[in-house]
Chains A and B, each alone.
Chain A
């Protein structure tokens, strides 16, 4: 009897402990996604979860205000391009890292020089490839020598490039590489930063816990942390995430399936909102004829495909809350994204007429490659079938599709891209149209415009060049932009935090109501 009572009591304790972890009364904010984190160091991963945590625990030189999109002083107090390739920054004094050491110019030079090194294994090279080297001019002043004029540099120096203390990577584990060689696993080192939250615990693939940094500097544009503890944990199954958020085991989830959004918003304890993301869904058409003799090389065929697809219906009815029709081959939040380009309204009759003009009155048959969301690809296929284009759907995993793209085997590819979260068109349009393996247009003029835009510091001139390139891409219907993915968020009603269109979660701004 005593025993069973003890078991029962400890069980009740355990349950209350488990379910009361999250929430306002414990000042512990628990958020969950289905991603298993592969590193806590954003330089060595490209997951949103790592970036969200990096924004909370780390500071970059600059801060991009997520609401106004303006650059603000963070670890740097002022900055200036002294010539086309030299950026000088004055640094903030009196800032301390979470391990107690003082922040100064040596730390900036160390961190940026480490990741800019071609052998650093840094994941998103574009963020640092522009850096030739970084010098500490004096204790609170650094000079970044760029390899070439880099107009997007300020963007690259925001939260995506946190500053670590000098010598930070010295303890990176040595692990076996190929053929008995050794390599350093830099990404295994846990970040030490200056941000509003301190890293308390990281379990790879499972969870990451942050605690408020009471010594965070007063006048940071990110503000002092309000919530005591932020816990990230991976919950793979969406149904389980929903069950947890409904019962208060978790305070915040995103990617709520459209069929559950309504049910969740009827719950008294949750706020449900939708917002677009940076991920675009589009068709890549082989206009350059990389796969050989294909109808895709004919402009009329490409325009017919564009007219055949009911993008509004797919975005609104299928993809659901937060999704938007994509007008141009870039994410609208990105700098330089010209959306005032030629549109191809849904018009199956016109599509058939264009196909007939191109010499395909009875349509044709073509392999169609896709990898991400089968339902969306099938909706596109249905629209194409309605105008006489028969498709053979090859639905593959990304890692199987990618080599086919590189090896000139994809006539029509239904692809998606999130620009690695970079808010500049150089990360999206330039990725696809500057002659790389993903470029199935191979338009020399577009390539030249984009390359010039990517290195022009004059912002108006840049915009004009991107606009020219995006206009030609649309006129030629090289790629068919379909929709921007949307995302539905569900979170604890007691939580006050801004949902932003940059597909980020700025939890350092969050407060309990």
Chain B
């Protein structure tokens, strides 16, 4: 177990190191960061001043090592654009994204698991077709269009939900639905196929033969097995939601991590980009680990082996 854990940790470390190097190079290769920071209309002298002030005239590896040496002491650097420490900036943006991600995943699970189970219990009926339709629609509809549709219906037409911002819980309803809906199809299809397999297996037949209540059979003996791959998928989806909610965050004007990353890339705010990548890489690794642990809890076979 210890060997396994240390291997995993080493892998995580390598993943983070490699992503940060690649990200660092991409940011520098996509144009002159000094020109981006000085902004449009800046004179050449201004740009040179920026280049010297921030050390962009040094070799890339020196700049990279400079950053790494500070990060290991816990100093994530400073946002040159927002003029604040990156730690403080992240502390303001992370809760927004975390709230959005968790709510969106909650919505996705609450919608897709019952639908998946129902579809599996009544294959090739109206219920199955409806859930298939819902899944296909979720996959086919671009998330920004769906988000704008929600905004128009609930924000402008009915005026029951706030349109933008993150002041109250109500502000998170539309973004969570819009983001979560996108994850629904995959989870639903996986639940359905898992349940179909499990419901035909020997132990479910045995459980039925014992005369257990249908509810108990479905939830305890069926779903518990079918849900194992869903847990892994949900973890990946949550990681995706934490890093990939740029569109939704932008539309609903939520100041979260995805939006911050996108903006920071535009303005070459390098230390913020690096810090976000670090956070997302760590989040992915931790979520994957948690999914494995949860699976182990659900399935004794994984636990023992």
**At the interface, yes or no: B299 with Cβ under 8 Å from chain A?**
no
| Binary contact readout A166-185 vs B (1 if CB under 8 angstroms, 0 otherwise) | 00000000011111000101
- Which residues of chain B are near A418, meaning CB under 8 Å? 40-41
Determine whether the beta carbon of B163 is less than 8 Å from that of A244.
yes
Q: Knowing A125-B46, A188-B83 are in contact, say whether A397-B30 is a contact too (CB < 8 A).
A: yes
Per a CB cutoff under 8 Å, which of A179, A237, A400, A437 touches B253?
A237
Would you mind naming 26 contact pairs between A and B with Cβ atoms under 8 Å apart? Answer: A15-B162, A19-B159, A36-B82, A121-B49, A125-B45, A177-B54, A187-B83, A203-B92, A204-B79, A205-B82, A205-B255, A236-B259, A239-B251, A240-B151, A240-B163, A249-B163, A397-B31, A397-B36, A398-B40, A399-B31, A399-B35, A399-B36, A402-B31, A406-B44, A417-B40, A431-B43
**At the interface, yes or no: A154 with Cβ under 8 Å from chain B?**
no
Tell me the bound Cα distance from A53 to B44 in angstroms: 28
Determine whether the beta carbon of A399 is less than 8 Å from that of B164.
no
Per a CB cutoff under 8 Å, which of B58, B159, B169, B263 touches A14?
B169
Q: How many A-B contacts at CB < 8 Å in the complex?
A: 146
Q: Knowing A399-B268, A403-B31 are in contact, say whether A46-B251 is a contact too (CB < 8 A).
A: no
Determine whether the beta carbon of B53 is less than 8 Å from that of A19.
no
**At the interface, yes or no: B66 with Cβ under 8 Å from chain A?**
yes
Per a CB cutoff under 8 Å, which of A121, A234, A235, A397 touches B53?
A121
Determine whether the beta carbon of B156 is less than 8 Å from that of A247.
yes
Determine whether the beta carbon of A15 is less than 8 Å from that of B161.
yes
**At the interface, yes or no: A345 with Cβ under 8 Å from chain B?**
no
Tell me the bound Cα distance from A205 to B55 in angstroms: 24
| Binary contact readout A1-24 vs B (1 if CB under 8 angstroms, 0 otherwise) | 000000000010011011100000
Tell me the bound Cα distance from A203 to B163 in angstroms: 20
- Which residues of chain A are near B75, meaning CB under 8 Å? 176
**At the interface, yes or no: B52 with Cβ under 8 Å from chain A?**
yes
Q: Knowing A19-B159, A399-B31 are in contact, say whether A243-B151 is a contact too (CB < 8 A).
A: yes
Tell me the bound Cα distance from A19 to B39 in angstroms: 35
CB-based nearest A residue for B56: A178
Shortest B93–chain A CB gap in Å is 9
Binding site for B on A (CB under 8 A): 11, 14-15, 17-19, 36, 38-39, 46, 121, 123, 125, 175-179, 183, 185, 187-188, 203-206, 233-237, 239-240, 243-244, 246-247, 249, 396-400, 402-403, 406, 417-420, 431, 436-437
Shortest A236–chain B CB gap in Å is 5
| Binary contact readout B154-170 vs A (1 if CB under 8 angstroms, 0 otherwise) | 01100111111101111
**At the interface, yes or no: B61 with Cβ under 8 Å from chain A?**
no
Determine whether the beta carbon of B35 is less than 8 Å from that of A398.
yes
Per a CB cutoff under 8 Å, which of B78, B83, B267 touches A176?
B78
Determine whether the beta carbon of B44 is less than 8 Å from that of A176.
no
- Which residues of chain A are near B103, meaning CB under 8 Å? none
Known: A243-B155, A399-B33; 14 extra A-B contacts, CB below 8 A, are A17-B168, A36-B82, A46-B39, A175-B78, A178-B55, A185-B83, A205-B81, A236-B253, A244-B163, A402-B35, A431-B41, A431-B43, A436-B44, A437-B44
CB-based nearest B residue for A398: B40
Q: Knowing A18-B165, A38-B81 are in contact, say whether A125-B156 is a contact too (CB < 8 A).
A: no
| Binary contact readout B223-264 vs A (1 if CB under 8 angstroms, 0 otherwise) | 000000000000000000000000000111101000110010
Tell me the bound Cα distance from A104 to B256 in angstroms: 44
Determine whether the beta carbon of A246 is less than 8 Å from that of B156.
yes
| Binary contact readout B53-86 vs A (1 if CB under 8 angstroms, 0 otherwise) | 1110010000000100010000101110111100
Tell me the bound Cα distance from A187 to B160 in angstroms: 40
- Which residues of chain A are near B204, meaning CB under 8 Å? none
- Which residues of chain A are near B42, meaning CB under 8 Å? 123
Shortest B226–chain A CB gap in Å is 32
CB-based nearest B residue for A13: B168
**At the interface, yes or no: B32 with Cβ under 8 Å from chain A?**
yes
CB-based nearest A residue for B263: A36
**At the interface, yes or no: B148 with Cβ under 8 Å from chain A?**
yes
